[in-house]
């Protein structure tokens, strides 16, 4: 399905390992912007590119039924459970996004903010973070425990998490929002020393009135907004 300015929406379904292994740049430059709605079919914990499996209690992860995956983009670990989160990637030609990481993340966050509002969220409830990285005791371990440029907040809680992989053939911005609060399941999964305080739970779609919005509707709206940002940007 194509949105404004030829933005194509594609569903990618499978394990987190299989979805992260798809390389949109393998055959050369990305020719058109795409929105990938990624649907995981089993639970997983996904490590950032600079994290290693030694951080994890492998036995605890096995007991929890989690696939262990390492992605190519940076940031902390992300817990994925089918139905508990929406994962949507923006796969883009280099020329349609700002040519630096911080500006391109803020650009992506602005697209998401507009999509949330079009779907019914109140603009006043959403805050687009355009400053530097904000760390917490857990942010070296857990992606949603810190706030980076372009991420969207509800009050002090993160609603939208972003990470990015850039190559000469294009940009892949990986995006996630939660439907249920499951961050509290993460501390026992780590083998390394963890902070004494629990990680804060993120905002979820229901907090902005979007609990009943399907991931398909979210992807389609994002594609239309993305097309308009490309046209006017």
Domain hosting residue 219, numbered range:
4-232
How many domains are there within the chain?
1
Residue 97 is part of a domain; what is its CATH number? 3.30.930.10
pLDDT by 10s per residue, the chain, length 233: 333 457 999 999 999 999 999 999 999 999 899 999 999 999 999 999 999 999 999 999 999 999 999 998 889 999 999 999 999 999 999 999 998 899 999 999 999 999 999 999 999 999 999 999 999 999 999 999 999 999 999 999 999 999 999 999 999 999 999 999 999 999 999 999 999 999 999 999 999 999 999 999 999 999 999 998 885 44
Contacts 24+ apart (CB under 8 A), 190-197: 190/55, 190/56, 190/57, 190/141, 191/54, 191/55, 191/56, 191/57, 191/58, 192/54, 192/55, 192/141, 194/138, 194/141, 195/137, 195/138, 197/137
Q: Could you give the CA distance from residue 33 to residue 230 in angstroms, rounded to a whole number?
A: 9
Q: What is the pTM of this model?
A: 0.94
**Do β-strands 34-40 and 8-14 pair in parallel, antiparallel, or remain unpaired?**
parallel
């Amino acid at each position: 399905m194509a949105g404004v300015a030829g933005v194509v929406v594609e569903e990618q379904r499978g394990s987190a390992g299989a979805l992260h292994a798809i390389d949109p740049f393998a055959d050369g430059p990305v020719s058109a912007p795409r929105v990938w709605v990624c649907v995981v079919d089993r639970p997983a914990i996904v490590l950032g590119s600079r994290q290693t499996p030694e951080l994890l209690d492998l036995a605890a992860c096995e007991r929890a039924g989690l696939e262990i995956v390492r992605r190519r983009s940076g940031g902390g670990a992300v817990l994925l459970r089918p139905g508990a989160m929406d994962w949507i990637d923006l796969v883009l030609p280099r020329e349609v996004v700002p040519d630096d990481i911080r500006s391109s993340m803020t650009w992506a966050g602005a697209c998401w903010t507009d999509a949330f509002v079009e779907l019914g969220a109140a603009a006043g409830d959403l805050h687009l973070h355009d400053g530097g990285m904000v760390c917490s005791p857990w942010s070296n371990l857990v992606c949603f425990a810190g706030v980076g440029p372009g991420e969207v907040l509800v009050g002090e809680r993160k609603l939208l998490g972003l990470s990015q992989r850039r190559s000469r053939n294009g940009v892949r911005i990986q995006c996630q929002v939660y439907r249920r609060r499951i961050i509290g399941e993460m501390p026992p999964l780590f083998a390394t020393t963890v902070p004494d305080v629990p990680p804060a739970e993120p905002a979820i779609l229901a907090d902005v009135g979007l609990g009943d919005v399907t991931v398909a509707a979210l992807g389609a709206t994002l594609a239309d907004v993305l097309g308009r940002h490309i046209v006017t940007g």
